[in-house]
Amino acid sequence: MPTKRKYNVKGTKDFIVLAGIFFFLCLWAVKDAWYPSPKVLEKHPEEVAVAFEVAGSIGQLHVAEGDSIGEEQVLAELHHAKIQEKFDTAKKEYSDAKNQHALMDEALRNAVKNGASSEGITELKQGRVDAQTAMDSALEEVNDIRAKLDATELRAPGKGVVKKVLVSLHAQVEAGETVIAIDPKDHFYLFNKSLAIFSFIAFWVFLGIHILAQ
Q: Is 73 exposed, middle or buried (0-12, 13-18, 19+ CB in 10 A)?
A: middle
The predicted structure's pLDDT at residue 10: 54
| Per-residue pLDDT, 1 | 45
What is the block-wise mean pLDDT of the chain (214 residues), using blocks of 10 residues?
50 82 93 88 87 94 94 95 94 96 93 88 92 96 95 94 94 94 88 93 91 79
The pLDDT value given to residue 11:
52
The pLDDT score that the predictor gives to residue 20 is 93
pLDDT on residue 144: 96
Predicted local confidence at residue 36, as pLDDT = 87
- Per-residue pLDDT tens over the stretch 153-179: 999 999 999 999 999 999 999 999 999
What distance in Å separates the CA atoms of residue 181 and residue 136, rounded to the nearest whole number?
A: 40
pLDDT in tens, 37-54: 888 888 888 889 999 999
CA–CA distances in Å: residue 98 to residues 104, 130, 143, 193? 10, 12, 15, 61
- For 54-64, b/e burial (b = at least 16 CB within 10 A) is bebebeebebe
Q: What is the model's pLDDT at position 166?
A: 95
